[in-house]
Amino acid sequence: MEENNTQDFQYQITDILPKYTKIDEIYQSILKYKVLYFEDQQQIFTFYNQFRNLENFEKAVLNFITSKEKEKQLQFFSILRKVIKKNIEKYNDNRNFLDSIDTFEICWDRANSVESKIKIQEKHANNQYIELRYTENSLESASWKGDDERVRELEEKVNKFSDLYKIEQEKLETLHREKEKLHNESLKFADNVFGKIYELESSFLLVLNNYFFDEWSLDSEQNSEPKKREYFDMQLILSIHKECNGVQFENLNVIDFYNILNLQPTTTKLIIKNREKERMYHLISNLYSCLQSDNNKEWRTALLNKLGIKWKIYNSKYKTVSVSSEEGNKKNKKFKDVIESIFNNIF
């Protein structure tokens, strides 16, 4: 039941990264709770349908290569490869479970979600019909008896109940149309595409290897320096960037944000916006807390130096958001709740 509308779907290669991160979140949720919801199945299927054309993926890679300097190319594709490999590992480790999910039933159940409403409405319409038929029979009896006053009274009731019955019938017909529409919409996403996404990801890596594999191998052989550490993966970085970019700090592309938080080389600076320093201190504190104890102090010191934040000021202010949110500061409470939600979903 796949839609064959991907041939002309053009995109920039940077478009795929945030969508990959969302897919990774969905995979984690499925594996944690052992349940797949329709909305998640819809996103998984849409992701596959959008990016399954390998020719378009290669065009996007080439366009990026010709428009960006080599350093940024290598940085971006290194991150993309990590995200792809992580998703491949998830599938390989849980292949039997993911492939066995009955996605058709999930979509079918969603299409039948109005069935209970239909049954209730059928009762309403049927009760109104019984009332109408009873009144019509009473009218016929009064007519035979020649009771003109009773006839006029019952005629008014018949007209009233007839109108009410039509209203209930229209409601019932609306629900049936809604059910048919849900069937048409839901069953478009009924295919289990976990295995197909895995095959697609393997092809993605082949394309990337065609352009960068030899260079990376050569670099690793010639470079005697230890590999740069990744403190935080792209999934977490993207989630924070989505909420904070242009709000807590000046607009910054996600790759530079990734490099800054992972203490990797970048010429771009993170500029904290006015009146947002304490919220940024709160964010740094949360990032610090999720690192292992043998790395967190080293990371925090290096990041504070990178951002030009003095330890004394940070140490006196990083708890402000937590304290003030408990005291009723709505803006700080909202920020605290958003950050906690991000970290709870990731870890």
295 in a domain, yes or no?
Answer: yes
- Where does the pLDDT of residue 274 fall: very low under 50, low under 70, confident under 90, or very high at 90 and above? very high
5 in a domain, yes or no?
Answer: no
Residues 147 and 254 in one domain: no
227 in a domain, yes or no?
Answer: no
Residues 75 and 204 in one domain: yes
pLDDT at 9: 65
Residues 300 and 342 in one domain: yes
- Residue 88, pLDDT above cutoff 80: yes
Asked if residue 147 lies in contact with residue 75, where contact means CB atoms within 8 angstroms, the answer is no
- Where does the pLDDT of residue 68 fall: very low under 50, low under 70, confident under 90, or very high at 90 and above? confident
Domains identified in the chain, total number:
3
144 in a domain, yes or no?
Answer: yes
pLDDT at 347: 61
Residues 243 and 340 in one domain: yes
Residues 85 and 38 in one domain: yes
- Residue 8, pLDDT above cutoff 80: no
Residues 253 and 324 in one domain: yes
- Residue 236, pLDDT above cutoff 90: no
Rg (CA), the chain: 30
- Where does the pLDDT of residue 213 fall: very low under 50, low under 70, confident under 90, or very high at 90 and above? low
- Where does the pLDDT of residue 185 fall: very low under 50, low under 70, confident under 90, or very high at 90 and above? confident
328 in a domain, yes or no?
Answer: yes
Residues 181 and 202 in one domain: no
Q: Which of 35-39, 96-100, 327-331 has the lowest mean pLDDT?
A: 327-331
Residues 84 and 143 in one domain: no
Residues 78 and 209 in one domain: yes
96 in a domain, yes or no?
Answer: yes
How far apart are the C-alpha atoms of 161 and 130, rounded to whole Å? 10
- Residue 306, pLDDT above cutoff 60: yes
Instruction: Provide, rounded to the nearest whole percent, the portion of the chain with pLDDT above 90.
Output: 41
- Of 212 and 38, the structure prediction assigns the larger pLDDT to 38
- Where does the pLDDT of residue 333 fall: very low under 50, low under 70, confident under 90, or very high at 90 and above? very high
- Residue 2, pLDDT above cutoff 50: no
- Where does the pLDDT of residue 328 fall: very low under 50, low under 70, confident under 90, or very high at 90 and above? confident
Residues 212 and 152 in one domain: no
What does the pLDDT average to over 129-158?
A: 87
- Residue 225, pLDDT above cutoff 60: no
Residues 204 and 86 in one domain: yes
Residues 321 and 294 in one domain: yes
Domain interval for residue 276? 234-346
What Å distances lie between residue 339 and 83, 247, 334, CA to CA? 22, 13, 9
- Give the model confidence (pLDDT) of 155-171 as tens digits: 898 899 889 989 988 98
4 in a domain, yes or no?
Answer: no
pLDDT at 331: 92
- Residue 338, pLDDT above cutoff 80: yes
- Residue 195, pLDDT above cutoff 90: yes
6 in a domain, yes or no?
Answer: no
